[in-house]
Chains A and B, each alone.
Chain A
């Protein structure tokens, strides 16, 4: 964990409400795909957690959706502006359990953290399949980026306006060694039921601090109480307890 002042290199819309922000600065605290950063924004008290899309030496990229005041403010920031972020937060995905043909399942704004994961899995010589789900054609992003990494990519849209009609669970391949997923909770629940192997889920929760101090984002698991920000956001399938 480290508080880093980044400089915005690029902040561009990918769809009507999804933006990609590329930052230059110390990204060395990002040790695993699936980790997140917590942005300090002018005039807002609490920081805003956003998952990391990609991190390389001296560069960090996030893809975020405008959903409220914080992300709306981020979308108006320009190249050259500075932004403060606590980086290296959360546990991230563990690629050690992936087997040789892992499946990545992303829904909407849950897609971005899977990119760095795919990159890592491919660098480890694994054959990666990806299923990306969106509501409609105008919301699709990142398909090409996954393809260019060498992943086998399938896209689904709820309204059938692009790719296969339906949900991500309608397009799961027959065989895969393990899976990783991130997306809205109803999708995660459907993935939990539809998948045949073990896997890892990345969760979202409203956070106070983002580094484990305040207990605002706690959840119950098979192995006890966990803080989504610190002990998560990634949980193993076997430890998940769905509330209600």
Chain B
């Protein structure tokens, strides 16, 4: 066991750094720049039952210390993810990968998870009940404890893989949602998805994003994310994967002190494709400075 090793739902990770879904594709582009096997794992692009083009463009806008996106779950659909993307992904990543799943009904989630459950490459199912950019389904499952529990319970019945439910911060009581997922059988929870936001073009007086609103991410959301992770970690016993604006080794450590077992890195990958590599390389030195022997020693230190 190295100093950076952590464990996520029974599987050991070499380090806690996990590129977040939607910011890393299926890893191909990044593997041109570095060996992505240095990652703990990564969560691949959100997968739905059917192929989706997603929302009209523009899908992205600049914000102070961050960005807004409204991609709308563009993906080739679960069957093509399995037949086309996973074999390609295997060539650049030989560790278990996290499959991110989205849906518009409980049946969608169940079907998609059932298909991905049979893939040996998939180590975890990250069930996204928090996408702010689609109508129907998506975030609506993540803003109500009953609906969140219903998806969790239904998915758990069709898979033996660990189910990590990805939560939205756009709620009044994140702890109650986290607890509802745990009670329904979730093996872990991950948070936060993006914060609902918007920008307006001052010249045209129209929203910058074609879909009007989108999800805010980047360093701007880090304090909100940290607070949510801390509140969720206080509420549940299952592992919590923290994310939201993480962009350096210090942020990873802070997330772990708030109760995260592992940490996802999202928007940072888009502005610096080497972000995760740099974070992993910077961790030991940062730990030395802070007198941290192993990362597992600090999980939940601030709880």
What residues make up the interface of A, taking CB atoms closer than 8 Å to B? 1, 3, 40, 44-47, 69-70, 86, 205-209, 211-220, 225, 230, 243
Closest A-B pairs by Cβ, 6 of them: A209-B270, A216-B60, A206-B58, A216-B59, A208-B60, A215-B74
Give Cα distance in the complex from A86 to B33, angstroms: 11
Q: Once the chains bind, are B270 and A218 in contact (CB under 8 Å)?
A: no
Q: How far is the CB of B188 from chain A (nearest CB, A)?
A: 25
Give Cα distance in the complex from A47 to B271, angstroms: 6
| B288 lies within 8 A of chain A by Cβ | no
Nearest A residue (CB) for B32: A1
Which of A86, A225, A230 lies in contact with B53, CB distance below 8 A? A225
Nearest B residue (CB) for A88: B32
| B7 lies within 8 A of chain A by Cβ | no
Q: Once the chains bind, are B269 and A213 in contact (CB under 8 Å)?
A: yes
Give Cα distance in the complex from A45 to B270, angstroms: 10
Contacts of A45 in B (CB 8 A): 62-67, 218-219, 267, 271
Contacts of A208 in B (CB 8 A): 59-60, 67, 69, 270
Q: How far is the CB of A208 from chain B (nearest CB, A)?
A: 5
Q: Once the chains bind, are A215 and B22 in contact (CB under 8 Å)?
A: yes
In the complex, besides A207-B60, A214-B25, 8 extra interface pairs with C-beta distance below 8 angstroms are A69-B62, A209-B271, A211-B273, A214-B22, A214-B71, A215-B25, A217-B59, A218-B57
Point out which of B63, B66, B67, B218 has the most chain A C-beta atoms below 10 A from its C-beta: B67
What residues make up the interface of B, taking CB atoms closer than 8 Å to A? 22-25, 28-30, 32-33, 45, 53-54, 56-67, 69, 71, 74, 218-219, 267, 269-274
Give Cα distance in the complex from A218 to B29, angstroms: 16
Count of chain A to chain B residue pairs whose CB atoms are closer than 8 Å in the complex: 95
Give Cα distance in the complex from A45 to B274, angstroms: 15
Nearest A residue (CB) for B56: A243
Question: Given contacts A215-B54, A216-B71, is CB(A1)–CB(B273) below 8 Å?
Answer: yes
Contacts of A215 in B (CB 8 A): 22, 25, 45, 54, 59, 71, 74
Question: Given contacts A213-B269, A214-B23, A215-B54, is CB(A206)–CB(B67) below 8 Å?
Answer: no
Contacts of A217 in B (CB 8 A): 57, 59-60
Q: Once the chains bind, are A212 and B25 in contact (CB under 8 Å)?
A: yes
Contacts of A220 in B (CB 8 A): 53
Contacts of A214 in B (CB 8 A): 22-23, 25, 60, 69, 71, 270
Contacts of B67 in A (CB 8 A): 45-46, 208
Nearest A residue (CB) for B63: A45
Q: How far is the CB of B223 from chain A (nearest CB, A)?
A: 16
Q: Once the chains bind, are B62 and A219 in contact (CB under 8 Å)?
A: no
Nearest B residue (CB) for A217: B57
Question: Given contacts A45-B63, A45-B218, is CB(A218)–CB(B273) below 8 Å?
Answer: no
Nearest B residue (CB) for A224: B76
Give Cα distance in the complex from A69 to B57, angstroms: 20
Contacts of B32 in A (CB 8 A): 1
Contacts of B273 in A (CB 8 A): 1, 3, 86, 209, 211, 213
Q: How far is the CB of B179 from chain A (nearest CB, A)?
A: 32
Contacts of B59 in A (CB 8 A): 206, 208, 215-218
Give Cα distance in the complex from A217 to B66, angstroms: 18
Q: How far is the CB of B145 from chain A (nearest CB, A)?
A: 31
Contacts of A3 in B (CB 8 A): 272-274
Contacts of B29 in A (CB 8 A): 1, 211-213, 230
Give Cα distance in the complex from A45 to B269, angstroms: 12
Nearest B residue (CB) for A228: B57
Give Cα distance in the complex from A196 to B65, angstroms: 47
Q: How far is the CB of B69 from chain A (nearest CB, A)?
A: 6
Q: Once the chains bind, are B74 and A209 in contact (CB under 8 Å)?
A: no
Contacts of A212 in B (CB 8 A): 25, 28-29
- The 9 listed contacts between A and B (C-beta, < 8 Å) are A3-B272, A44-B62, A47-B271, A207-B60, A208-B270, A211-B273, A215-B25, A216-B58, A225-B53
Nearest B residue (CB) for A212: B29
Q: Once the chains bind, are B270 and A213 in contact (CB under 8 Å)?
A: yes
Q: How far is the CB of B42 from chain A (nearest CB, A)?
A: 11
Contacts of B53 in A (CB 8 A): 218, 220, 225
Q: How far is the CB of A103 from chain B (nearest CB, A)?
A: 29
Give Cα distance in the complex from A208 to B63, angstroms: 12
Nearest A residue (CB) for B19: A213
Contacts of B30 in A (CB 8 A): 213
Point out which of B23, B60, B69, B71 has the most chain A C-beta atoms below 10 A from its C-beta: B60
Nearest B residue (CB) for A68: B62
Give Cα distance in the complex from A40 to B274, angstroms: 14
Contacts of B65 in A (CB 8 A): 45
Give Cα distance in the complex from A243 to B210, angstroms: 13
Q: Once the chains bind, are A205 and B23 in contact (CB under 8 Å)?
A: no
